[in-house]
């Protein structure tokens, strides 16, 4: 019984001993130059181009005018004369 209690106590202490340690990140080292050779590779095929038309010119945008030009001023002139009187 004492032996079992000692083992349980030992497991509890062993688990808490490493609880505060942070995990160590492995150090990654890359080669300075990566060489890829395609000397013995033979490719057969057909070039396919996308059916897309590229337009470099942009059409000018046309917006309706927010300003309405008045042609007749008779009503406004009559009102202003009446306001002055």
pLDDT for residue 5 is more than 80: no
The total number of residues shown for the chain amounts to 85
pLDDT tens digits for range 29-69: 988 988 877 777 777 888 787 777 777 777 888 888 888 88
Return d(Cα 6, Cα 38) in angstroms, integer.
65
In this structure, which long-range contacts are made by residues 18-21, counting pairs with CB atoms below 8 Å and at least 24 apart in sequence? none
User: In the numeric block, which tokens belong to residue 46?
Assistant: 């057909």
Predicted TM-score (pTM) of the model is 0.19
How does DSSP classify residue 42?
Answer: -
- The single-letter DSSP state of residue 68 is P
SS3 state of residue 25 = coil
Say whether pLDDT at 10 is over 70. yes
């Amino acid at each position: 019984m004492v032996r079992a209690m000692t083992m349980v106590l030992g497991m509890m202490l062993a688990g808490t001993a490493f609880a505060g340690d942070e995990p160590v990140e492995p150090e990654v080292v890359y080669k300075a130059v990566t060489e890829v050779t395609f000397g013995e590779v033979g490719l057969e095929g057909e070039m396919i181009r996308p059916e897309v038309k590229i337009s470099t010119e942009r059409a000018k945008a046309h917006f309706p005018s927010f300003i309405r030009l008045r042609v007749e001023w008779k009503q406004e002139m009559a009102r202003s004369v009446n306001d002055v009187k």
